[in-house]
Structure formats: C-alpha cells, structure tokens
Chains A and B, each alone.
Chain A
Amino acid sequence: MAGRGKLIAVIGDEDTCTGFLLGGIGELNKNRKPNFLVVEKDTSITEIEETFKSFLARNDIGIILINQFIAEMIRHAIDAHMQSIPAVLEIPSKEHPYDASKDSILRRAKGMFSADDFR
C-alpha cells in the first residue's frame, strides 16, 4: 500500500480525525504507529510538535492535514517546512473557522507584495 501511493496524515480534534478516518485515510503501520493524532485538551504542544515532525520525516506521507488552531500552536515548525512533499494543509475545526490570513501558504504568497520585492 505504502509502496503504491502515499498516505494522508491528520492532526486534529476528535471530530476531524473521526471524519477523515471514516473517509478511509487511517493507517496503523507494522510498528503500530498511526498516521493521525487526536488532539485533546490535555495534549501537550511538545507532543503535537513531535508528531508533526515525525510525519514530516516519514517518507510514506504525502499530505498532512492539520486543524488551523493546532497549526497556530506549532507555527514555527510549519513555517520552517519548505519542501513540497509532504504538503501541509490547514483546515478549519468545529470551534475555529478557517482564517486565510493565518494560513502559512497564503502568508508566503502575500509576501510577494511586500516592499522588499519591489526594491
């Protein structure tokens, strides 16, 4: 399976993870490592960051979906990721609607029109 295509990973609240797992993206590999992280109230930022970095390091993951409010917690790690694969996609969550002005990619694209570019 991993040889044929890449996986979609998800870091999100319970409903987001449940929804995407219903869609069929979930995987538990041979080492019983999942490609998803259910973020609850007591999940630490360190744990989220470590999971995100472990997803980046895995070569069988093509896209990482992450709730935007969780992405805000580890913004530095997301901004530091410049490679195309895996692609990081920020998605809304139940309590926090999607805000384009916070999206890493759109902020990078916006940077095009900063004063530095026209010098």
Chain B
Amino acid sequence: MGVSEEEESSLLLDEKLIRFMDQLESLEEKRATLNSLIEQGWFSMSKARYSMGNKQVSALQYASEIEPLVCVNARTQDNGEVQFCTERPTQKSSKESAKDLPIEDVGPQEEGVRRRNKPKKDIREKEASEDASSKKAPEANPVRKSDHDPQQDPLKWFGILVPQSLKQAQSSFKQVIELSAEIATLQIAVLNTRQELKDCLKNKHTLQKKGSATESR
C-alpha cells in the first residue's frame, strides 16, 4: 500500500517537473522574442532620431497630459495563478470623440462671426462686447480640448508628419507590451509550479521515511 502511494507521489512529481520544464522553455522562447522586438523598436527609434534630429525623439516631447491607451486585466485563477491580458479600450472612444469634435467646433465659430457683424449701435455696444467676452470663453474650451486631447496617439507628441520608422518603433513596442503581459503570466505560473513541486517533494520524502520506518520494524 505504502509503495503504491510512493509511486503515485513520484508520478505526480514527474508530471509537475515536466510541466515546470515546459513552462521554463516557453518563458525562455518568449523572452527571446521580447528581447528581439525591443531591439527592433530601439533600432527604428534610432532611425527616426537620425531623420528627425537628435533631440526630436526624447523625453522632452512627452505631452503634459497623458492618458493610457492600454491596460492589463489581471484574473486570479482557482489555483492562485494570475492571468494578465492587455486591452486597448480607449481607441474606439478616442476615434468617436475625434469625430465629434469638429462638429462642436463649427457651431460656436459661426456664432461668433454672426455676432461680430451684428452690433453697430452705440446703445447695445457695451452689451454686445460683454456677450462676446462671455461667449468667447466657452468657445476657447473645445479648441483647447482638441489641442490637448490626453487620449491622443503618442506619435503626435513628436510631430504631425512623423517618419515611418517611428511608426514602426511604435508597433514594435505595442507587440512588446502584449508579450510582456504573457511573460508576466508565465512567470507567475513558473513560481506557482515550483511551489507545487516543492510541496510534492516534501510529501514524497515523508512517505519514504514512513515506508522505511515500517520496513525496519
């Protein structure tokens, strides 16, 4: 009976060891892909810097307001493992808001022109100027919003017509972000399997000790 238990625990141990090795192999492969993608990204960025100028691609160009365009969802599974998956939820909404903005801009601009031609009488001059000043303030806001839209594509920080190489750098880093979530998941899985393996090993040792004690009797 004791032997079969020992065999069972050995089989379980083997199974976990194989899983552990598989996970490590997969981690190594993904790491290699991640490293090459990052290198590719840097290379493209260097090319962009060469064509745009040395100081045109640096931390100085970061926007004053930054909103994330990607986020990770962390799901904790029953066995304690955490699964990360990336999500780009704001892309649609930013496109929609970009579509909405020009419509908002057109309205107040026309209104402003109409009002400027209208008042020429001395009596209403003061009122008109007050109205104009009070209505110019809300006019300025939507323009500012479109200028400093925090959800804009980070490519625009570096100019409107950026070189293709900077776009390539962006796509490489987007892939790196996807891959880094996978690697984070795998790292946690590796540590989890390692802990299970340790527990199994301890269990096997106690079973062996018990078995040897009964044999000696």
Residues of A within 8 A of B (CB): 1-2, 4-8, 14-28, 34-35, 38, 62-63, 65, 84-85, 87, 89, 91-92, 94, 97-98, 100, 105, 108-109, 111-112, 117-118
Q: How far is the CA of A89 from the CA of B27 in the complex (A)?
A: 12
A87 and B81 alpha carbons, distance in the complex (Å): 12
Q: How large is the interface on B (under 10, 10 to 19, 20 to 34, 35 or more residues)?
A: 35 or more
Which residues of B approach A to under 8 Å, CB–CB? Answer: 20, 24, 28, 31, 34-35, 38-39, 41-42, 45, 57-59, 62, 64-74, 76, 80-82, 84, 87-90, 154-155, 166, 169-170, 172-174, 176-177, 180-181, 183-184, 187-188, 190-191, 194, 197-198, 201
Q: A6-B74, A117-B201 are in contact. Are A24 and B65 (CB under 8 A)?
A: no
A35 to B169 CA separation, bound complex (whole angstroms): 21
By Cβ-Cβ distance, the 4 closest A-B pairs, closest first, are A5-B71, A24-B69, A23-B173, A87-B184
CB pair A65–B180 under 8 Å, yes or no, is yes
Q: Is the CB of B87 within 8 A of A5?
A: yes
Residues on B with beta carbons closer than 8 Å to the beta carbon of A24: 68-70, 88, 154, 174, 177
Are B42 and A63 interface neighbours, CB within 8 A? Answer: no
Check if B66 sits within 8 Å of A27, measured CB to CB.
yes
Instruction: Answer whether A8 and B190 are a contact pair too, CB < 8 Å, given A18-B58, A19-B173, A24-B154.
Output: no
Q: Do B176 and A20 touch (CB < 8 A)?
A: yes
Chain A residues whose C-beta falls within 8 Å of the C-beta of B38 in the assembled complex: 16, 19, 91-92
A100 to B24, CA, bound (A): 12
| Contact of A15 with B42 in the complex, beta carbons under 8 Å | yes
User: With A20-B173, A92-B35 in contact, is A7–B74 under 8 Å at CB?
Assistant: no
